[in-house]
Amino acid sequence: MKWDEFFVTGEPMIYGAMASIVLVTIAIIVGLTYFKKWGYLWREWLTTVDHKRIGVMYIISALIMLFRGGVDAMLMRAQTAVPENKLLDAQHYNEIFTTHGLIMILFMAMPFIIGIMNVVVPLQIGARDVAFPRLNAISFWLFFTGAMLLNLSFVIGGSPDAGWSAYFPLASLEFSPTVGNNYYSLALQISGIGTLLTGINFIVTILKMRAPGMKLMRMPMFTWSSLITSVIIAFAFPVLTVALALMMFDRIFGSQFFTMSNGGMDMLWANLFWVWGHPEVYIVILPAFGIYSEIIATFSKKNLYGYTSMVVSMVVISLLSFLVWAHHFYTMGQGAMVNGFFSITTMAISVPTGVKIFNWLFTMRKGKITFTTPMLYSLAFIPIFTIGGVTGVMLAMASADYQYHNTMFLVAHFHYVLIPGTVFAVIAGFHYWFPKVFGFKLNERLGKHAFWWIAISFNVTFFPLFFLGLQGMTRRMYTYSAETGFGPLNLISFAGALGLAFGFIILVYNIYYSIRYSPRETDGDPWDARTLEWATSSPIPAYNFAVTPNVKGRDALWSAKHDNQPIFDGKIEPIHLPSNSGKPVILGGVFFVFGFALVFSWWIPAIISGIAILIVLASMSFDRDHGITVSVEEIMETEKKLRGETL
C-alpha cells in the first residue's frame, strides 16, 4: 500500500482536518505536561470505575461527536443550499452523510443517553454504583475506541460511503472498494459490544441493586425507561453483532453472504440491519421519554400523571419495536399482505406513544409550571415531536410510503422524531442534572437564548423538507438542477441550519460561562425535585449516599420534604467501593490496534493484538481485587465538607 492511498489526499478540507487533529493532539499533550495533569487524568478519569465519572466521560465524548456530526450536517445543507453547487463532490458528500448518520445515532445519541443513565440511574435507585463497575468502564472504553476508529477513517483510508444503513451490494467490496466500509463493520462492532455490555449491566443494576423499599412500581420513570431500553439493547444488539460479523467476512475474508453472486443475498442485510435498526430508534427515544417525565413532573410541581399506563405503554412500545422492521423497505416487493401487516404493527405504536403525550399534558394540568431551560426543551418537545409522530403514521401506510420512501419527506420525519425526541431530551437532561454532578447550574439566561435559537431554527431547517419530499426530491442527492425548483426551500433550510449551529455555540459558551461565573449551590436539590438523586449532596460523593436510603413510596424525596417521611433513617456504616483499574482503558487501546489492523488487513498486527485482547481479558479474570472501604470518619468528614455541617 502506498502512503497516498493510506492517507486521504486531494481535499483542502481534509488537509485542514488533519492539521487540526495534529494541533489539538499536540495542544492536549503539551497542556497536560505543562500543568502536570497526566497523573490526575490517569488516576481520576482514565482508570475510574465510578458510574458518575464514566457518565461524564460519555457525555463529553457525545458532545464532541455532536459537533463532528453537526459539521457534517452543515456541510450537507451548505452543499444543497443552491442548485448545482460545487462545494463538495459526490464522493465527499456521500462520505459526509454516511458519517453524519453513524455518528449522530451511534456516537452521539446513544452515548449521551447512556452517559445520563450512568450518572442518574444508580442515584435514582439509591445504589452505590452499577452492578459491575469495571464492566461499565470496559463498555465506555469500547464505545470510545469505536468512535475514534470511525473518526480516523476521515483522514486515513477514507470514510464509509454507502449510507449509514450500508445496503449491500453497494457496501460490498465490488462497489465500495475503499477501506471505508471496513471501518464501518469494525468500529460499530467494537462499540456495539460495549453497548451490549451496558445493557446487561443496567438490567442487573436495576433489578438487583435497588435500595430497600424501592419496588419496581416505585421506580422513577427515567429508571423504568432505562430498564426497558437495556432489555431492548440485550435483544437487538446481538443481531447487529451478527450482521456486522457477516459484513466483515464479506469484505475482509471474501465470503459471499450479501454479494450479488454465489447465492449472496443483499436483502438479507437490509432485514438484519433493520431488525436491529428499528429497536435502536427506541433505544434512543425511550430514555428520552424518561427524562421528559422527570422534568415535566418536577417543573409542574406535580406527580407524573398515569404512572402505570406510562410503564405499560413503554413495555408495549418495546415489544412492538421488534415487529415493524420491514416498514423501512415496503418498496422491496414483498407484496401487499406483508406490507399490510407491517403497516398495522407500525401504526399500532402510535397508540402507546399517544398515551404518553396525553399523560405529559395532564401532568401539567392543575400544575404550577415554571419555565426553566430544561422545562422549555421538554415543552418544545411535545408539539414538535407530535408532528414527527403523525408524519410517522403517514409513512407507516405502505401505499403512501411508495411516494415518501427515500425522499426528503422521510428525512424531515425522522429529524422531527429524533431531534425533539432525543436531542432536546439529552440537552434538557444535561441542564437538569448538571447541578447534581458539578454543584452549580448552567446560566439560565444563556440557556434560554440557546433554546429559542435551537427550537425555532430546527423548524426552519426541517419543515421545508416535508415539501421538498412531496415535490420529488430524494435524500442523499448531492446536487440538483435549477429546473427542479428545489432551490428556494433548500436555501431556507440552510438558513435554519446556520441558526441551529449558532444555538449550539451559545450552549457551549454557556458551559464555559457557567463554570466561571455561576454561583455554587449549597443544597443538593436546586430544582425542588421529587426523586432520590436529589437527596444526596451536589457534587455527589464517591459513595453516593452516606446512609442507604429507605424508600417508602414513589417520588421519595418529595414525600420526604412534604409528608415528613425521612429517607435516611439508618446510621453511618463503613462503605465498600470498587477500586480503580487501568485494564479497561488498556483493553480499549488494544481493541483499537486490533480494529485498525483488520481494517487494512494487516494480519500480523491483527493476530498479535487479538491475542493481546485475550491476555488482558484473562488477566482481569485473575485479578484479586477486594475494592476499598471508606471508614465512618472519612464519610463524616466528606459530608461535613459537602453540606457545610455535620450530620
Name which of 113 and 397 has its Cβ closer to another protein: 397
Print the binding letters for residues 287-326 with another protein: x by CB under 8 A, - otherwise.
-------------xxxx-xxxxx-----------------
500 is an interface residue for another protein by CB under 8 A: no
CB contact at 8 A, 580 and 47: yes
Q: Let me know: does 441 contact 484? Beta carbons within 8 Å.
A: no
Counting contacts by CB under 8 A, is residue 441 touching another protein? no
* Shortest Å distance, C-beta 389 to another protein: 8
Of the two residues 32 and 400, which places its CB atom closer to another protein in the complex? 400
Q: Is 638 in the site for another protein (CB under 8 A)?
A: no
If the CB atoms of residues 270 and 616 are measured against another protein, the closer one turns out to be 270
CB atoms within 10 A of CB 614: 10
Q: Is 628 in the site for another protein (CB under 8 A)?
A: no
**Selected binder of another protein within 16, 24, 27, 371 (CB under 8 A):** 371
Q: Which is nearer to another protein, 409 or 591 (CB)?
A: 409
Residue 339 in the binding site for another protein (CB under 8 A): yes
Residue 403: alpha-carbon gap to chain centroid: 31
From candidates 83, 213, 354, 539, binder to another protein by CB under 8 A: 354
Q: How many residues of this chain bind another protein (CB under 8 A)?
A: 93
Per-residue 3-state assignment (H helix, E strand, C coil) for 446-514: HHHHHHHHHHHHHHHHHHHHHHHHHCCCECCCCCCCHHHCCHHHHHHHHHHHHHHHHHHHHHHHHHHHH
Q: Is 262 left (phi over 0), alpha (psi -120 to 50) or beta?
A: left
Only one of the segments 58-66, 131-139, 258-266, 620-628 lies at the binding site for another protein (rule: CB under 8 A); that segment is: 258-266
Candidate residues 351, 614, 617, 628; the one interacting with another protein per rule CB under 8 A: 351
Contacts of 156 (CB under 8 A, 6+ apart): 6, 7, 8
Residue listed under C-alpha cell 409528608: 563
User: Among residues 163 and 605, whose Cβ is nearest to another protein?
Assistant: 163
Q: Which of residues 175-194 bind another protein (CB under 8 A)?
A: 175
Residues 261 to 290 in contact with another protein, rule: CB under 8 A: 261-263, 265-267, 270
**Nearest to another protein of 420, 439 (CB atom):** 420
The dihedral sign for the CA sequence 117, 120, 126, 128? positive
Q: With binding defined as CB under 8 A, does residue 405 bind another protein?
A: yes
Task: Choose one: 52-60, 202-210, 331-339, 631-639; the region binding another protein (CB under 8 A).
Answer: 331-339
What is the 8-class DSSP label of residue 440? B
359 binds another protein (CB under 8 A): yes
Closest contact distance (angstroms) between CB of 450 and another protein is 15
Residue 331 contacts another protein per CB under 8 A? yes
Closest distance of CB 133 from another protein, Å: 36
Cis before 169? omega within 30: yes
CB of 285 to another protein, least distance (A): 18
Q: How far apart, in Å, are the Cα atoms of 366 and each of 127, 157, 300, 303, 305?
A: 33, 59, 8, 11, 11
How far is 628 from 619, CA to CA, in rounded Å? 20
Torsion of CA 30, 35, 40, 45, to 10 degrees: -50
Residue 550 interacts with another protein (CB under 8 A): yes or no: no
Min dist CB 381 to another protein, Å, is: 11
Which position has the grid cell 447550574? 441
**Mapping DSSP to helix (H, G, I), strand (E, B) and coil, where does residue 245 land?**
helix
Best CA proximity match to 428, nearest among 279, 299, 280: 299
Residues 83-112 that bind another protein (CB under 8 A): 90-91, 94
Comparing CB distances to another protein, the nearer of 361 and 482 is 361
User: Among residues 110, 247, 364, 500, which is the contact residue for another protein, using CB under 8 A?
Assistant: 364
Q: State which of residues 43, 208, 365, 445 lies at the interface with another protein (CB under 8 A).
A: 365
C-alpha cell at 40: 490526575
399 binds another protein (CB under 8 A): yes
Among residues 177, 238, 383, 582, the one that binds another protein under rule CB under 8 A? 383
Measured CA distances, 60 to 191, 432, 443 (Å):
16, 16, 19
DSSP output for 246-271:
HHHHHHHS---SSSSSTT--HHHHHH
Q: Decide if residue 215 touches another protein (CB under 8 A).
A: no
Q: Where in 5-64 is the site for another protein (CB under 8 A)?
A: none
Amino acid, res. 34: Y
Nearer residue to another protein within complex by CB, 269 or 594: 269
Residues 6+ apart with CB under 8 A from 382: 357, 360, 361
- Asked if 159 interacts with another protein (CB under 8 A), we say no
Give the integer Cα–Cα distance in Å for 406 and 165: 12
CB proximity list for 518: less than 8 A, separation 6 or greater: 440, 441, 442, 443
Window 470 to 489, contacts with another protein (CB under 8 A): 470-472, 474-480, 485
Pick the closer one to another protein by CB: 438 or 480: 480
Report in angstroms how near the CB of residue 167 gets to another protein at its nearest.
6
Q: Judged by CB under 8 A, does residue 367 bind another protein?
A: yes
